[in-house]
């Protein structure tokens, strides 16, 4: 039996010792074995530990659950990742509350050079599905690791788009690895593992996907990523929690805007309005903001030829802008002979595809 692992698992089981306290202990003593060997007097003088928690550590004797978890880990070839392991997601160590131990099944590099989290509503729209697929298609050449939560809606869309474009993807779940939630994503989880992605959790086996586990899961999604991308979300929901967590960890947050009348975009618009997210129009914005162009020697702007085929209305707008360097919204309405709502929708789509840019005074030009 792996004695260090037994002690690491035991530390995560000690009553009154959460992730913050465990990090304090490991930072001071170096490893879990040293924590349990330490004198009570040495433990209780640590800031954040105190007499009650020191007593909990010294009186801990329930190693049976840790032994059961080791048996599960060995049987199903799970990789345990403790705070001090090199393969542990190093970005999480910059957070004040990193998981004490993670359970991982997969091959994707959790310390990849470029990592983004893609999150959004469970009630996705065609718009959300389209921009998710387009975004990942344009980032595929950069070998970006895509993190999401395996939930219904945008999470699943993100994982599937990553697989479609041959990008590694990791699903962070809110339960033990003895199950998959939701059950209908069992096949997707298998595909993720098969395609050199992975499943990751901080929860031991037999842990159910209870409601209070999801915010904890979300902090891992936010903390192990360079940036969090919010595709679609209402004012309230898990995606808004993830965005707040990412901001709290000083990570970049991007959000795709949507119509003000669309509830599914209300959260994104709110994040942008309150300067909690950068307005995202496409992959080029992420590449520019994160400095990835310099790292990979690629053009800062994605070539227009990579974009999806334009609709007839969008082609009309583009043709008009080719004739004159800039046009106002009123001029576009008049010259296109389209309804104002159709022009507005076409311009929004062109902006999201990084074909058209807006200028002060409601002017527009081609990029």
Domains of the chain by residue range:
3-75, 115-296, 304-366
| Residue 13 pLDDT | 96
- Distances in whole angstroms, Cα of residue 169 to Cα of each of 141, 155, 244: 14, 11, 22
- Give the pLDDT mean for 3-16: 95
Residue linked to tokens 């091959």:
107
- CATH class for the region spanning 304-366: mainly alpha
CATH class of 115-296: alpha beta
Both tokens of 155, joined, read: 């999470």
**Percent of all residues in the chain with a pLDDT value above 90, rounded to a whole number:** 73
pLDDT digits (tens, 9 = 90+) for 83-95: 999 999 999 999 9
Q: What is the pLDDT of residues 132-157, one digit of tens each?
A: 999 999 999 999 999 999 999 999 99
pLDDT, one tens digit per residue, over 26-56 is 999 999 999 999 999 999 999 999 999 999 9
CB 229 within 8 Å of CB 135: yes
Res 295: pLDDT: 62
Q: How far is CA 261 from CA 191, 265, 307, 344, in A?
A: 37, 8, 26, 14
pTM of the predicted model as reported, rounded to 2 decimal places: 0.79
Digit-coded pLDDT (tens) for 228-276 = 999 999 998 899 999 999 999 999 999 999 888 888 899 999 999 999 9
- Round the average pLDDT of the chain to a whole number and report it: 91
CA distances from 131 to 138, 166, 198, 289, 328 (A): 11, 17, 24, 19, 26
Mean pLDDT of 304-311: 60
CATH superfamily of 3-75: 5' to 3' exonuclease, C-terminal subdomain (1.10.150.20)
Contact 244, 277 (CB under 8 A): no
CA 105 to CA 196: how far, in whole Å? 10
Preceding peptide of 182 cis, ω within 30°:
yes
Separation of alpha carbons 122 and 1, rounded Å: 42
Q: Give backbone dihedrals phi and psi of 127, rounded to 5 degrees, phi first.
A: -60, -50
**Which pLDDT score is estimated for 305?**
42
Phi, psi (rounded to 5 degrees) for 237: 145, 175
Confidence label for 308 from pLDDT (cuts 50, 70 and 90): low
pLDDT of residue 302: 44
Model pLDDT, residue 166 = 95
What pLDDT does residue 241 have? 95
């Amino acid at each position: 039996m792996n004695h260090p692992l037994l002690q690491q698992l035991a530390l995560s089981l000690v009553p009154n010792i959460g992730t913050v306290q465990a990090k304090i202990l490991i930072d001071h003593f170096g490893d879990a074995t040293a924590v349990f060997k330490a004198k009570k007097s040495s433990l209780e003088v640590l800031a954040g530990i105190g007499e009650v928690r020191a007593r909990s550590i010294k009186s801990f004797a329930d190693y049976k659950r840790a032994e059961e978890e080791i048996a599960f880990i060995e049987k199903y070839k799970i990789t345990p990742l403790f705070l001090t392991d090199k393969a542990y997601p190093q970005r999480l160590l910059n957070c004040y509350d990193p998981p004490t131990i993670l359970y991982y099944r997969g091959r994707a590099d959790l310390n990849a050079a470029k990592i983004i989290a893609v999150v959004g509503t469970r009630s996705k729209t065609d718009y959300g599905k389209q921009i998710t697929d387009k975004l990942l298609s344009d980032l595929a050449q950069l070998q970006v690791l895509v993190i999401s939560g395996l939930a219904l809606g945008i999470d699943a869309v993100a994982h599937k788009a990553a697989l479609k474009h041959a990008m590694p993807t990791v699903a962070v779940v809110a339960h033990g690895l003895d199950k998959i939630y939701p059950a209908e994503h069992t096949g997707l989880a298998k595909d993720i593992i098969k395609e050199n992605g992975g499943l990751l959790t901080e929860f031991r086996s037999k842990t159910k996907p209870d409601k209070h586990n999801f915010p904890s899961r979300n902090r891992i999604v936010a903390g192990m990523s360079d940036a969090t991308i919010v595709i679609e979300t209402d004012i309230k929901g898990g995606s808004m929690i993830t965005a707040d967590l990412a901001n709290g960890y000083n990570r970049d947050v991007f959000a795709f805007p949507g119509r003000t009348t669309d509830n599914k975009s209300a959260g994104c618009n709110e994040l942008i309005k309150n300067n909690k997210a950068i307005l995202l129009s496409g992959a080029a914005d992420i590449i520019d903001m994160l400095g990835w162009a310099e790292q990979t020697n690629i053009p800062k702007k994605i070539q227009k030829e990579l974009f999806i085929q334009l609709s007839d209305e969008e082609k009309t707008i583009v043709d008009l802008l080719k004739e004159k360097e800039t046009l106002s919204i009123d001029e576009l309405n008049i010259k296109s002979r389209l309804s104002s709502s159709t022009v507005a929708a076409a311009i929004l789509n062109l902006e999201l595809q990084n074909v058209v840019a807006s200028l002060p005074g409601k002017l527009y030009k081609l990029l």
